[in-house]
């Protein structure tokens, strides 16, 4: 009897998962990078993302996990629990921060302090958590992005 109930429950779960609509991952574009703080103790970057929802249902986003490389240098990984609702077929913008505590980036960052670039190549990848959805939606995007240096960013 227990074996029969277990089998029935498993079939019910499989049928429920099969009836879930398929969600396409959102299209992510890195719109802007701002160097907020550059010092020996900490480096902070502000990221502005455009998130486009290709689905015919709204996406209630509950969090982001992401990694960023600029000009071929892995800057680090970040995480946000910012909640936003992306309308069906629409888009939203989100601002995130990436904090670094590593010495290995000082060469690249000190070069930017001497001669700030106007834009750099990037690779942004990660995943987005959607409320009541069983698994995160993966994303990956590369391209070129303008980089801005905030006033007072260099703190040596």
Query: Cα(46)–Cα(115) distance, rounded to whole angstroms?
Result: 19
- Does CATH place domain 25-155 in 3.60.110.10? no
Is pTM beyond 0.85 here? Answer: no
10-residue stretch averages of pLDDT, the chain, 156 residues long: 48 50 88 82 84 94 91 85 93 88 65 80 93 92 86 67
Enumerate the β-bridge partners of residue 63.
129
* The pLDDT of residue 151: 77
- pLDDT recorded at residue 14: 46
């Amino acid at each position: 009897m227990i074996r029969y109930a277990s089998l029935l429950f498993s079939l019910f779960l499989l049928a429920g998962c099969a009836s879930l609509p398929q969600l396409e991952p959102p299209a992510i574009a890195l719109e802007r990078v701002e160097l907020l703080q550059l010092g020996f103790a900490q480096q902070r970057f502000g990221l502005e993302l455009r998130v486009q929802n290709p689905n015919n249902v709204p996406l209630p986003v509950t969090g982001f996990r992401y990694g960023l490389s600029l000009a071929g240098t892995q800057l680090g990984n970040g995480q946000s629990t910012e909640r936003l609702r992306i309308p069906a077929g629409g888009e939203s913008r989100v601002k995130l921060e990436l904090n670094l505590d590593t010495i290995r980036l000082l060469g690249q960052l000190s070069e930017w302090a001497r001669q700030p670039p106007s834009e750099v190549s990037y690779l942004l990848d990660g995943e987005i958590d959607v409320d009541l959805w069983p698994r995160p939606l993966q994303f990956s995007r590369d391209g070129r992005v303008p980089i801005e240096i905030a006033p007072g960013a260099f703190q040596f």
